[in-house]
Homo-oligomer: A and B are copies of this chain.
Amino acid sequence: MKFIHTSDWHIGRQLHNQSLLDDQRFVLNQIIELATEHSVDAVVVAGDIYDRSVPPANAVALLDEVVNRLVNELKIPLIMIAGNHDGHERLGFASRQMNDSGLHIIGPLTKDVRAIELNGKAGGALFYGLPYADPATVRQVFGCDVSTHEQAMAKLLEQVDEHDSKGLPKVVVSHCFLDGGSESESERPLSIGGADKISPKLFTPYSYTALGHLHGPQYKGAEHVRYSGSMLKYSFSEQHQNKSVTLVELDGDGKASFELLPLKAMRDVRIIEGELAELLELGKTDINREDYLMVRLSDKTAILDAMGKLRSMYPNVLHLERTGLMRENGKVELNRDHIKKGELDMFTDFFSQVSGETMTEAQQQAMSAAIDELHKAERTS
């Protein structure tokens, strides 16, 4: 049994108000190609299929395309569970009518955790898709008393344990936060104060656990308890992560081996730093200048329309930080006092950029007087 484990597609997500739909289509097509190339028996998506409980219509249309390619055209079974970003009812609509087609969507949590039996070219496996469920949901569905995420998960896994495997390896698909996991900025916490943490030990008894939620690929507790990570970098904090899907192979004894298959983004997400002139010069030979960029400008002078100038070279600058204008103590925000103190200095920079000349002393005095007038008027109004 050979399958691709991926998660956190977040279809429909934006990065600093920039739609990523084309980037998502690009990388989803790679996942489809990898599935074909490696002749996998299934693709497993461990939650956060969409970014929001009400995804935009074009996100739904993109997922529909992907599903049709994989399930209808390539006949590769697809298992998807709802994550904490997904609308469980919406994602799970009519899922029972899809199962025979090879599309298995697990939306709202139900009392009976269903085993999905898939037959691979070299042996079968049982997949247990556990949708994201907080303790309150588990209490309500099972009428039991659980108060932490760990207790809730243990309750769900009881069902997996009770199920007769008939000698097949068991694969758990889950969306949760394992204790010790490394977080990124683009994840939405499952709860406040660490009550969402689950011991990795809960999952070590199974042949493989395909996890979603954390956006960096990693394993916890044992190598076969893994997060595949998201398919794209969804925050600048992820600039140094390598995104991939996990190719999992179960041998006859249900022992898993893994390989990370790298994903190439249409546009990378990264941070560049330096002075404006220097960055504009570098851009001329930067073949990846269409990447999504956060720019940290170290210039210590005011710059007229810095964003416009940067975008003329790097069209997808999404965020700009003026690190050169920040205080020595490293505070990121420009504060009001700081701006006030430097009005004359800032105007001097502005003047020289617009006119190409330096202000004369007389001009500086006139400007200084004008600023004083304005402050007086502000105080008395």
- Residues on A lying within 8 angstroms of B by beta carbon are 53-54, 57-58, 60-61, 63-64, 67-68, 71-72, 87-90, 92-94, 96-98, 100-103, 105, 108
**Chain B minimum-CB-distance residue to A98:** B97
Bound-state CA distance A58–B88 (Å) is 11
- What 3 A-B pairs come out closest when comparing CB atoms? A97-B101, A57-B89, A97-B98
In the complex, A72→B95 CA distance in Å? 11
A53 engages B57 (CB within 8 Å): yes
Partner of A97, one of B71, B87, B88, B108: B71
Report 7 cross-chain contacts, Cβ distance below 8 Å, ordered by A residue.
A53-B57, A57-B90, A60-B90, A64-B93, A67-B94, A71-B97, A72-B96
Give the residue of B67, B89, B92, B103 whose beta carbon is less than 8 angstroms from that of A58. B89
Given the complex of chains A and B, what is the CA–CA distance between A96 and B96 in angstroms? 14
Given contacts A68-B96, A97-B102, 18 further A-B contacts (CB under 8 A): A53-B57, A57-B88, A57-B89, A58-B89, A60-B89, A60-B90, A61-B89, A61-B108, A63-B93, A64-B89, A71-B97, A90-B90, A94-B98, A97-B101, A97-B103, A98-B98, A98-B101, A100-B100
A105 / chain B contacts, CB cutoff of 8 Å:
94
Interface centre among A54, A61, A98, A105 (most CB of B within 10 A): A98
Complex interface: chain B residues within 8 A of A72 (CB): 96-97
Asked if A87 and B53 make an inter-chain contact with CB atoms under 8 angstroms apart, the answer reads: no
- B-chain residues with CB within 8 Å of residue A89 when the two chains form the complex: 57-58, 60-61, 64
Give the distance to chain B from A140, nearest Cβ to Cβ, in Å. Answer: 14
CB-nearest residue of chain B to A53: B57
Q: Which residues of B have CB within 8 Å of A108?
A: 61
Contacts of A98 in B (CB 8 A): 94, 97-98, 101
A93 to chain B: which residues have CB within 8 Å?
60, 63-64, 93
CB-defined contacts of A92 to chain B, threshold 8 Å: 64
- Residue on B nearest A103 in the bound complex, by CB: B97
Chain B's closest residue to A102 (CB) is B97
Q: How far is the CB of A179 from chain B (nearest CB, A)?
A: 31
Give CA–CA (A92, B94) in the complex, Å: 11
> Which residues on B sit within 8 Å (CB–CB) of A54?
54
Q: How far is the CA of A100 from the CA of B63 in the complex (A)?
A: 20
Set of chain B residues within 8 Å of A61, measured between Cβ atoms: 89, 108
Chain B residues lying within 8 Å of A90, measured Cβ to Cβ, are: 57, 60, 90
Least Cβ–Cβ distance between A102 and chain B, in angstroms: 8
Q: Which residues of B sit under 8 angstroms from A103, Cβ to Cβ?
A: 94, 97
Instruction: Return chain B residues, CB-CB under 8 Å to A57.
Output: 53, 87-90
Nearest CB on B from A25, distance (A): 15
Q: Measured between alpha carbons, how far is A88 from B58 in the docked complex, in Å? A: 11
- With the chains together, A94 CA to B58 CA distance in Å? 14
Q: How far is the CB of A141 from chain B (nearest CB, A)?
A: 14
Q: Which of A53, A97, A105 has the most CB of B within 10 A?
A: A97
The smallest beta-carbon distance between A244 and chain B, in angstroms, is 26
A71 to B96, CA, bound (A): 10
Chain B residue at minimal CB-CB distance from A55: B90
Question: Which of A93, A103, A105 has the most chain B CB atoms closer than 10 A to its own CB?
Answer: A93
Q: How far is the CB of A99 from chain B (nearest CB, A)?
A: 8
A68 proximity list for chain B (CB < 8 A):
96
> When chains A and B are docked, how far (Å) is the Cα of A53 from the Cα of B68?
22
User: A328 vs B57: C-alpha distance in the bound complex, in angstroms?
Assistant: 51
User: In whole angstroms, how far apart are the Cα atoms of A57 and B98 in the complex?
Assistant: 19
Expressed in whole angstroms, the Cα–Cα distance for A71 and B94 within the complex equals 10
